[in-house]
Amino acid sequence: MKFIAITLIVHRPDPVTGVQKSTHERFREVLDNAVLAEELGFDGFGVGERHERPFISSSPTVVLSHVAALTKRIRLFTAVTTLSLLDPVRAYEDYATLDHLSEGRLDLIIGKGNGAAQRELFHVTPEDQWDRNAESYEVFRQIWRQDKVTAQTRFRPPLTDAEVWPRPLQRPIRVWHGSATSKESVDLAARYGDPLFSANVTHPMEPYAELIGHYRERWEHYGHDLADIAIGAGTAGICVARTSQEALATYRPVFEANLAFYKQAGLPVVFEDLEDFVERSSALIGSPQQVIDKVHRYREQFGHTVLHLHADAGGLTGSRHRASLELFQSQVAPVLRREIPDPPFAWGPVLPAPPLTQESARV
């Protein structure tokens, strides 16, 4: 199993202390967390893309380019690239450049995105967002694979023998499809034989398991081998401690502050108390063995081989969050790496085979 740390770069007051960092401090924290993730042995670091409050992750390519300069090994993820809002040509240019600068360490997780404010900002409607997402992905996919592209498009000017530069390093880049509830995203992933990343954050297990089951059905429908499926899944929070009592006591102020925020903002409340949240959500809160058992319980339903954890402290103190991640990497991750297989592809850069020389041909 592989593990990636993800941030959506939420910028609002700390749920427990009420203190809000400056924008500059928040970006600095993201960079520090990326360096820490590599130091602790995570396999990937992801940055979201949102274009509305309370997020400041509107430019993931810029953030990930800085992360690439500060790190050497860890793979870089988008979480997610909102292709329904973007011109696929411009998105390709940014990500192909980032792919070179990171030495081929880039993976994309694409998705429609959500939020009325960002739809309005980009003049995208609920009625056309799925078609935009599919069209943008299909054009993006062509550009990544072909030196010249012709495409009849609805949502941007058509392309005729178009050349887009720079040409990519990875041939092709790996694209995951992020989905919370949408069968449209799942079907698009299955159609092209792409991996799926389930959000698995807001609700209990069942709706996500149902969506992943649909993905498997569509995967077979499109003629792909089930052995080639790769699935990732998110988590709703993390607090690993030596004992369950310590983990609950540490996380309780975070949960109660978030619950009060949801109620004040009029947001739906799915889990009314911490014990229910720990039991029925995907949050990894407990002792190392409890966390191992919970990941296995989800694995039985999802069949996932990649897991994302929160890169941000999210209400824990910085030192407590770091201690939690250190305990996860020292006592949880090694067990899960032994007991759960990796995705059915190499984790490194997807590079083309070197050209055949006369000498190698003779051999």
Q: Residue 107 maps to which CATH number?
A: 3.20.20.30
pLDDT of residue 354: 67
Q: Are strands 284-286 and 238-240 parallel, antiparallel or unpaired?
A: parallel
Q: What is the arithmetic mean of pLDDT over 295-306?
A: 98
Q: What is the arithmetic mean of pLDDT over 215-230?
A: 98
pLDDT of residue 355: 64
The answer to the question of residue 346 being in a domain is no
The answer to the question of residue 254 being in a domain is yes
Q: Decide if pLDDT at 358 tops 60.
A: no
Nearest Cα residue to 133 out of 119, 148, 149, 117: 119
pLDDT confidence of 182, banded at 50, 70, 90? confident
pLDDT confidence of 178, banded at 50, 70, 90? very high
pLDDT confidence of 175, banded at 50, 70, 90? very high
Nearest Cα residue to 63 out of 106, 113, 20: 106
Q: Decide if pLDDT at 51 tops 70.
A: yes
Domains contained in the chain, number:
1
pLDDT of residue 171: 93
Nearest Cα residue to 124 out of 92, 82, 159: 82
For residue 325, give both structure tokens: 């991640």
The rounded distance, in Å, linking the Cα atoms of 96 and 170 is 8
Radius of gyration in angstroms for the set of CA atoms belonging to the chain, rounded to a whole number = 21
Q: Decide if pLDDT at 353 tops 80.
A: no
- Three-state secondary-structure class, residue 26: helix
pLDDT confidence of 115, banded at 50, 70, 90? confident
Q: Decide if pLDDT at 361 tops 60.
A: no
The answer to the question of residue 123 being in a domain is yes
Q: What is the pLDDT of the chain when averaged over all its residues?
A: 95
Dump the DSSP string for 241-289. -SSHHHHHHHHHHHHHHHHHHHHHHT---S-SSHHHHHHHSS-EEE-HH
φ and ψ at 37, to 5 degrees?
-60, -40
The answer to the question of residue 177 being in a domain is yes
The dihedral built from the CA positions of residue 248, 251, 257 and 261, taken in this order, carries a sign that is negative
pLDDT confidence of 55, banded at 50, 70, 90? very high
Q: What is the arithmetic mean of pLDDT over 332-359?
A: 87
The answer to the question of residue 17 being in a domain is yes
pLDDT confidence of 315, banded at 50, 70, 90? very high
Q: Decide if pLDDT at 307 tops 80.
A: yes
What range does the domain containing 269 cover? Answer: 2-339
The answer to the question of residue 357 being in a domain is no
pLDDT of residue 363: 45
Q: What is the arithmetic mean of pLDDT over 137-162?
A: 98
Dump the DSSP string for 97-166. HHHHHTTS-EEEEEE----HHHHHHTT--TTTHHHHHHHHHHHHHHHHH-SSEEE--SSS--EEEE--SS
Q: What percent of the chain has pLDDT over 70?
A: 97
The answer to the question of residue 24 being in a domain is yes
Q: Are strands 175-179 and 196-198 parallel, antiparallel or unpaired?
A: parallel
Whether pTM exceeds 0.85? yes
The answer to the question of residue 232 being in a domain is yes
Dump pLDDT digits (tens) for 255-286.
Answer: 999 999 999 989 999 999 999 999 999 999 99
Number of Cβ within 10 Å of residue 331's Cβ equals: 16
